[in-house]
C-alpha cells in the first residue's frame, strides 16, 4: 500500500493580509512565487531558486506558501506539482500580488 502525501490548502477567506504578506516576505519564496507565476504546474525542482537550497528548506517554504493560500500542491506519480493559486489569491487580495511581483529586483 502506498501512503500518499496530502497537503492542506486553506480557504482564501481564512487567510489574513498579515499572513499573506509574511509568506511573501522572504527572498527565496519571492523567487518561487515569481517562477510559479511564469510557469504553471512546476515540480519542486523547477520552482526552486537556482542557488542551492536544501530540499527540506524548499519543502518548508512550500508549506508556508500553501498555508497562505498562494500555492496548491498535488502529487502526480512520484512528483509533487505546484501551482500558483493566482485567481483565488487575486480575488482575496486584489492587486497585491501584482504590485509585489512588479517590485521584485530585475
Residue 87 interacts with its own copies (CB under 8 A): yes or no:
no
Instruction: Give me the least distance between CB of 2 and its own copies, in Å please.
Output: 38
Q: How far apart are CA 64 and CA 69, in angstroms?
A: 9
Contact predicate 55/44, CB 8 Å: yes
User: Binding its own copies by CB under 8 A: which of 62, 65, 69, 93?
Assistant: 93
User: Binding its own copies by CB under 8 A: which of 9, 26, 74, 88?
Assistant: 26
Residue 62 interacts with its own copies (CB under 8 A): yes or no:
no
CA 45 from centroid of its chain's CA atoms:
13
C-alpha cell at 53: 537550497
Residue 46 interacts with its own copies (CB under 8 A): yes or no:
no
Distance between start and end Cα atoms, the chain: 47
Residues binding its own copies (CB under 8 A): 16-19, 21-22, 24-27, 30, 93-96, 98-100, 102-105
Amino acid at each position: 500500500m502506498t501512503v500518499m502525501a496530502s497537503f492542506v490548502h486553506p480557504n482564501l477567506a481564512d487567510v489574513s493580509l498579515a499572513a499573506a504578506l509574511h509568506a511573501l516576505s522572504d527572498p527565496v519564496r519571492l523567487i518561487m512565487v515569481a517562477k510559479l507565476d511564469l510557469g504553471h504546474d512546476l515540480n519542486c525542482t523547477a520552482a526552486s531558486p537556482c542557488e542551492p537550497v536544501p530540499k527540506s528548506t524548499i519543502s518548508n517554504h512550500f508549506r508556508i506558501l500553501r498555508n497562505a493560500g498562494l500555492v496548491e500542491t498535488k502529487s502526480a506519480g512520484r512528483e509533487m506539482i505546484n501551482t500558483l493559486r493566482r485567481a483565488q489569491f487575486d480575488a482575496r487580495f486584489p492587486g497585491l500580488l501584482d504590485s509585489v511581483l512588479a517590485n521584485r529586483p530585475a
